[in-house]
Structure 1
Amino acid sequence: MDPAATADPPGAAQPSPWAPLRARAFRTLWIASGGAAAPGDGRGRLRRPAGGCGDGVVAGAVLMPRLARALSPTARLTWAGAVFGAGMLALAGARSPAPAAISLLPVGAAWIVVIAGLNAAVQSFLPPWVRARALSVYQVVFFSATAVSAAARGLIADHLGLSRAFVLAGALLVAGAFSGRWWSLREVAAASRQPVDFWPDPAEGAAAGQGGELSAPVPPGAVLVQVRYEVPEQALEEFVRVAARVERSRRRTGASRWNLYRSLEEPGSLVEQFTVADRADHLAQHHERLTSADQSAQERLRSLATQVHAARHLVRVPAVRALGVAE
């Protein structure tokens, strides 16, 4: 993948928390179809040509930079899936080592193009603060799929025979490859995931009336953040659309709940409200978790309002007994 740019273009897509799982779904299809199928059966009839797969992996690694420049991620996945599936179909008809080795060359090349390509796409897509956690889920799903699909392929081969199992895998891969026409990978090469610190400092923002928090002691527990916007009627529909992007930004960076309310007494007055686990989590939103895509969405939302009031930060009042107040 090309290195991510340092800034997002206007309207750049924000990273979705489901993106790693979508990429993993593509990769799981590969594993279930062909990736877990070792080039051999219990009697080792096809083990000798397995070196062809390794040679193909090396060739694919050499070709990857050129493919990255010439094709989009979705196009690379589609063509690699078709090539892998065709190789599996050819392998099913191989009756001697030489044809098997030749059929495994494109299989190895396609395998490395998909595996390395998706790994790079997921890593470049994820912001640094959540990358390690998301990649751990990515790898758990990968190795779990490998184990389950290997067992499933063994059962299929036992019941249908090795050749038919390869035919089934090849057909599934070819069909799955062209699902990219309707289920494409999101292009992330132009999106920056480096954190940006554009919210006002908590203490300075409060003093300036920009919605920061004063540095007074804050009791433990959830923090409820409220931001009030005055929105003209003609901008209301666009405001609500952009607010959906802001909701994804708030939730992705730590909010557990988010809502947008409209005043019955003042229809042009809307209140955004979201909850974070505690003050430390909210400070992380300020300084560590926001990207330029988040900044673009939030600035666009504010531009649609004629006035944005200072944010309010609320904490839950402890129970009466905990305060020592008589009932």
Structure 2
Amino acid sequence: MSRSAPGSPWTPLRHPVFRMLWFAWMTANLCMWMNDATAAWLMTSLSGEPVMVALVQAASTLPVFLLGLASGALADIVDRRRYFIFTQVWVASVATLLCIVALSGSLTPLALLLLTFLNGIGLAMRWPVFAALVPELVPRLELGKALALNGVAMNGARVIGPIIAGAIIATAGGAWVFLLNAALSVLVALALVRWKRDSKVSSLPAERFFGAMRVGFQYCQQSPEFQGLLLRSMSFFLFSVAGIALLPLVAKQLPGGNAGTYTLLLATMGGGAILGALLLPRIRQLLNRDQVAQYGALINALATLCLALAPNLWLALPALLVSGLTWLATANSISISVQLSLPDWVRARGMSMYQMAMMGGTAGGAALWGQVASLTDIRTSLTVAALSAVLVLLLVRRISLESAVARDLTPDLYWTIPALSVPVEPHREPVMVQIEYSIDPARADDFVILMQESRRNRLRNGALSWELFQDAAIPGRFVEYFVDGSWVEHMRQHERVTAHDKAIWKRKRSFHIGDEPPTVSHFIARRVKR
């Protein structure tokens, strides 16, 4: 049973680069929460329809679902520092445009949703690159604490952001919140410019964009455990978002509800998340990640039900405190499992797919529960969301977070570089690798079962196709082959092998009964005229 390293939850902040990026991340999230809180409150003035208010949350998160994989591919093939800087410039530009439109008095519900969507594109670009950077900056044993601190930054911003936004809205107007967002985003970009990152240098050229997207999708397709993590994530956020998406309307329905009520409710939920982050090291000594995720999702659903039934502010506040705490604990447990299940070369793409699942659930849930509230009422929508969350938890609880991180992903470059005696176009001709085994026919069935795992590994690392053949005349003779898109792509496979891959190779070798090792041959495609 996995446990986090004991000690202070603030330990990762001892690392200077992580500390700098942590403050940058907190500032970026401060801007996000200020923008979302302001946009949601402005929408209640522009349109009183519950579905329009909920669509603000959907517009903010939908770009992550639509553009996540593309963003992750870019973060894996370009310099991550420069890419992070670009995302901040994008967010600053959108915030400036929001300010101008709001000050001109031409802001409409549709314009607000469109500009919120553009701001969400910045979030879609920013999150995968930051998530991929964190494991570079802290030791593996501190990764859980680092991710919890990221939760503190995000939820500290959730507390502070709406308070600042509410104060500015009350005194000057929402447009000035957007202007402050632009200024803070520029400051974060300047801090990132000063960071001199030591990046790993590969002798191979960078992956091509669409090829990187294909490999990222293929990695997910060939990783059942990773798919399970995505399902756990989407199913949790689909239902847990109901409270936050409908919170402006909950605030207005409470006795004496106004902008200050909404700010207090949002801040209480964020405070619960911060409390959860601080308690996580202690919780992890008592429970494993599976237990934290299961109990957290269950209690979060109960908190949503309590919020639905709360007749006044003082009963709604404890429900939101518990909701924030369990939201952080559950999301952190899933996020750590996703991080630890990914090798570095595909980490940003993997995290982008996790982000797509998370934000897809969030955007879909916000729209769904907003529509349910429009057709019925706020209390009914929250109640249905809470009860549905419990039912879905019963269906997904067998998907283990612990088993998803069982593979040893330590790089192990045990492959030898093949000798070339013919000219090769590095980016053009496909490469076929053929491996011939001599197997005891009595063990052939067991060998074929093992080769199913070999197939997943080859395709997960980027191969275009894979097959296993048995000689019709010699039952113990098997040939494994796989095809890579080019010589450069084949060399990338050499850079991607891990201790887990090596362990599978040793198991395959144990079936081989020949006097010499299995014969490995490399074939270069030759194009012929048709």
TM over 0.5: yes
Q: Does 1:29 align with 2:267?
A: no
Query: Which of the pair has the greater relative contact order for Cα pairs under 8 Å at 6+ separation?
Result: 1
Deviations 1:211-242 (A, max 9, x none): xxx26421432111111100012221221111
Q: Does 1:221 align with 2:429?
A: yes
Residue number in structure 1 paired with 2:487: 279
Residue number in structure 2 paired with 1:311: 520
Matches within 5 A, 1:158-307: 158-203=374-419, 214=420, 216-219=422-425, 220-286=428-494, 288-307=495-514
Q: Secondary structure in 2 aligned to 1:312?
A: strand
Tell me the distance in 1 between the aligned counterparts of 2:242 and 2:251: 17
Q: Does 1:101 align with 2:101?
A: no
Greater mean alpha carbon deviation, residues 67-76 or residues 240-249 = 67-76
1:58 to 274, 298, 307: 274
For residue 80 of structure 1, report the CA deviation from its aligned partner.
0.5
Q: Secondary structure in 2 aligned to 1:44?
A: helix
Give the share of equivalent positions with the same residue, in percent: 27
Deviations 1:186-211 (A, max 9, x none): 424554323210112323xxxxxxxx
Amino acid at match of 1:52: T
Matches within 5 A, 1:17-96: 17-38=223-244, 39-41=247-249, 44-45=252-253, 47=262, 48-96=264-312
For residue 249 of structure 1, report the CA deviation from its aligned partner.
0.9
Tell me the distance in 1 between the aligned counterparts of 2:308 and 2:241: 15
Greater mean alpha carbon deviation, residues 226-235 or residues 194-203 = 194-203
Q: Secondary structure in 2 aligned to 1:221?
A: coil
Residue number in structure 2 paired with 1:11: none
Does the Cα contact within 8 Å between 2:225 and 2:404 map onto a contact in 1? no
For residue 172 of structure 1, report the CA deviation from its aligned partner.
1.4
Does the Cα contact within 8 Å between 1:4 and 1:190 map onto a contact in 2? no
2:332 to 116, 128, 132: 116
Amino acid at match of 2:518: H
For residue 309 of structure 1, report the CA deviation from its aligned partner.
3.3
Residue number in structure 1 paired with 2:176: none
Tell me the distance in 2 between the aligned counterparts of 1:261 and 1:299: 20
Greater mean alpha carbon deviation, residues 262-271 or residues 172-181 = 172-181
Greater mean alpha carbon deviation, residues 59-68 or residues 102-111 = 59-68
**Kindly tell me: are residues 56 and 71 of structure 1, through their superposed partners in 2, closer, same or farther at Cα, counting changes over 3 Å?**
same
Does the Cα contact within 8 Å between 1:49 and 1:98 map onto a contact in 2? no
Tell me the distance in 2 between the aligned counterparts of 1:305 and 1:199: 18
Residue number in structure 1 paired with 2:371: 155
Q: Does 1:140 align with 2:356?
A: yes
Does the Cα contact within 8 Å between 1:74 and 1:180 map onto a contact in 2? no
Q: Secondary structure in 2 aligned to 1:74?
A: helix
**Kindly tell me: are residues 155 and 320 of structure 1, through their superposed partners in 2, closer, same or farther at Cα, counting changes over 3 Å?**
closer
- TM-score, normalised by the number of residues in structure 2: 0.53
For residue 155 of structure 1, report the CA deviation from its aligned partner.
0.9
Greater mean alpha carbon deviation, residues 271-280 or residues 39-48 = 39-48
Amino acid at match of 2:291: A
Tell me the distance in 1 between the aligned counterparts of 2:452 and 2:248: 51
**Kindly tell me: are residues 294 and 226 of structure 1, through their superposed partners in 2, closer, same or farther at Cα, counting changes over 3 Å?**
same
**Kindly tell me: are residues 54 and 121 of structure 1, through their superposed partners in 2, closer, same or farther at Cα, counting changes over 3 Å?**
same
Q: Secondary structure in 2 aligned to 1:194?
A: coil
**Kindly tell me: are residues 187 and 70 of structure 1, through their superposed partners in 2, closer, same or farther at Cα, counting changes over 3 Å?**
farther
Q: Secondary structure in 2 aligned to 1:151?
A: helix
Tell me the distance in 2 between the aligned counterparts of 1:181 and 1:108: 21
Does the Cα contact within 8 Å between 1:229 and 1:271 map onto a contact in 2? yes
- TM-score, normalised by the number of residues in structure 1: 0.85
Q: Secondary structure in 2 aligned to 1:255?
A: coil
Amino acid at match of 1:25: L
Greater mean alpha carbon deviation, residues 191-200 or residues 103-112 = 191-200
For residue 118 of structure 1, report the CA deviation from its aligned partner.
1.6
Greater mean alpha carbon deviation, residues 43-52 or residues 134-143 = 43-52
Tell me the distance in 1 between the aligned counterparts of 2:506 and 2:376: 59
Does the Cα contact within 8 Å between 2:342 and 2:409 map onto a contact in 1? yes
* Greater helix proportion: 2
**Kindly tell me: are residues 33 and 278 of structure 1, through their superposed partners in 2, closer, same or farther at Cα, counting changes over 3 Å?**
same
Does the Cα contact within 8 Å between 1:78 and 1:180 map onto a contact in 2? no
Does the Cα contact within 8 Å between 2:293 and 2:331 map onto a contact in 1? no
For residue 158 of structure 1, report the CA deviation from its aligned partner.
1.3
